[in-house]
Structure 1
Amino acid sequence: MARIVFTPQLRRFVETPEVQTSAASLRDGLEAAFAVNPRLRGYVLDEQGHLRANVAVFIDGRRLRDGRDLSDALAADSAVHVLQALSGG
């Protein structure tokens, strides 16, 4: 099962459960996490359901390609990391 892990920085604002899911796409995997904690959705997705600009997602070490539809595929053993993107200097 794919494993979805959230950055520790998000834990300051909302509970971020680690989720094991059989989802085939990132969107479905995130929906599994939102089912555990619905408040998490607002920190990860914007009002249109797209990935927020300040959030980065890596699937098996590669940056997410589709931040709009979240259609990137998950393998049965994928590791997904959801991070707050940092900016500034």
Structure 2
Amino acid sequence: MAVIAFTPHLRRFLDVPEVDSPATTLRAALEDAFAGNPRLRGYVLDDQGHLRANVVIFVDGARSDDRTALADPLRPDSRVHVLQALSGG
């Protein structure tokens, strides 16, 4: 199963353990995580269901550029990391 890990920063606000998901797409895996913790959705997605501007997701070490459909394919052994996007210098 794919594993979804969330930034430790969220632990200040929510219980965010790693989630195992049989999903084959990023969106479906995130929905599995949200099913176990509905409040998490608002930290990751905006009101249109798109990835928030301050969030970045890596699938198997590659940054996901699909911020709307979140249709990145997942393998059974995929690792997904949901992080805060940082800017500045």
**TM-score bucket of the superposed structures, by smaller chain:** over 0.9
**Distance in 2 between the 1:15 and 1:35 partners?**
13
- Who is 1:8 aligned against? 8
Post-superposition offset of 1:87: 1.6
**Distance in 2 between the 1:65 and 1:4 partners?**
17
Identity of aligned residues (%): 66
4+ runs deviating over 3 angstroms: none
Letter in 2 for 1:87: S
- Who is 2:19 aligned against? 19
Runs of 5+ consecutive residues of structure 2 not aligned to the other structure: none
TM-score normalised by structure 1 residue count? 0.96
Runs of 5+ consecutive residues of structure 1 not aligned to the other structure: none
TM-score normalised by structure 2 residue count? 0.96
How many residues were matched structurally? Answer: 89
**Distance in 1 between the 2:65 and 2:71 partners?**
9
**Distance in 1 between the 2:56 and 2:10 partners?**
12
**Distance in 2 between the 1:80 and 1:33 partners?**
11
Per-residue CA shift, 1:20-61, capped at 9, x if unaligned? 011010000000000110000000000000000000000000
Letter in 1 for 2:56: A
- Who is 1:77 aligned against? 77
